[in-house]
């Protein structure tokens, strides 16, 4: 779609080619239209980044869901959203994952999600996921996790947790704490720094980061990375919305 002004100028052009001329007034404007001001793309060293700025979900993503499937993932307007209908069981996580393609540590995975939304009800859990497989109920997965204790709460509870049976059943949690949030967007980062060693950080702006847990020993060699969400209580439909996915 071309964008031009609705008016024209009757003034004559000058001789200085470095200045905007009256005839340029109604020329087609050049620019980038995007809704995402949160993320400045880096070098994307692994080719795994996703700004979610397309009309459809990239084919490299793998959907990991319990049965019956209650999660619907949608990419639109620079946001990846997951709608979970009512009825999901406690401890059941829905994930969208990418293969690491044999890559190993050190790796940092970062995202931002909207948590202050009409459908971010109590116990909506959102975060980054690392796993040694992409099959629900199989293998081991760990996730950064943010969730509200009350609807529209001003504090986000955070923790790093493991699922011993792959995206199912909450096993062990580390660094559980409550963080006061002043922004409707919440940033998560997980660092796989060495063999079986992981750290989690949170941020209100993607610039200043707070450590939730550092150099935690967890027996896991990830083969897949991605995003996860859970309605947890299962009684109310929920929507989780992610702004970007970055790997470096």
Query: Hey, what domains does the chain have and what are their CATH numbers?
Result: 62-247 (2.60.120.200)
Backbone angles phi, psi at 232, to 5 degrees: 60, -70
- Contacts of residue 21, defined as CB under 8 A and 6 or more positions apart, other chains included, come to 13, 14
In this predicted structure, the answer to whether residue 119 has a pLDDT above a threshold of 70 is: no
State pLDDT tens for residues 142-186.
998 876 655 445 556 788 888 888 888 767 889 878 776 666 788
Q: How confident is the model at residue 9 (pLDDT cuts 50, 70, 90)?
A: low
> What does the pLDDT read at residue 204?
84
For 41-86, write each residue's pLDDT tens digit: 567 788 899 999 888 999 999 999 888 888 899 998 889 998 888 7
Q: Is the pLDDT of residue 121 over 80?
A: no
Q: Is the pLDDT of residue 124 over 60?
A: yes
Asked whether residue 215 carries a pLDDT value surpassing 80, the answer given is yes
Confidence bin at 40 (pLDDT 50/70/90): low
CA distances from 122 to 105, 116, 202, 212, 245 (A): 34, 11, 20, 21, 24
Q: How far apart are CA 20 and CA 8, in angstroms?
A: 14
């Amino acid at each position: 779609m071309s964008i031009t002004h609705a008016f024209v100028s009757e003034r004559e052009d000058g001789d200085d080619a470095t200045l905007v001329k009256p005839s340029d007034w109604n020329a087609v404007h050049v620019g980038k239209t995007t809704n995402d001001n949160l993320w400045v793309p880096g070098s994307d060293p692994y080719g795994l980044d996703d700004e979610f700025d397309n009309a459809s979900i990239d084919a490299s993503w793998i959907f990991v869901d319990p049965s019956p499937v209650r999660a619907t993932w949608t990419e639109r307007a620079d946001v990846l959203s997951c709608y979970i209908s009512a009825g999901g069981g406690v401890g059941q996580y829905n994930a969208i994952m990418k293969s690491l393609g044999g890559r190993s540590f050190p790796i940092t995975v970062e995202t931002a999600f909207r948590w202050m939304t009409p459908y971010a009800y109590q116990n909506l859990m959102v975060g980054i996921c690392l796993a040694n497989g992409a099959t629900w109920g199989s293998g081991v997965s760990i996730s950064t996790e943010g969730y509200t204790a009350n609807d529209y709460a001003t504090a986000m509870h955070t923790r790093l947790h493991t699922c011993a049976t792959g995206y199912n059943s909450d096993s062990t949690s580390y660094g559980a704490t409550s963080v006061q949030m002043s922004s409707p967007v919440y940033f998560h980062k997980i660092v796989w720094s060495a063999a079986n060693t992981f750290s989690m950080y949170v941020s209100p702006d993607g610039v200043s980061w707070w450590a939730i847990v550092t150099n935690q020993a967890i027996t896991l060699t990830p083969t897949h990375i991605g995003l996860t969400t859970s309605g947890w209580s299962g009684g109310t439909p929920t929507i989780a919305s992610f702004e970007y996915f970055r790997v470096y």
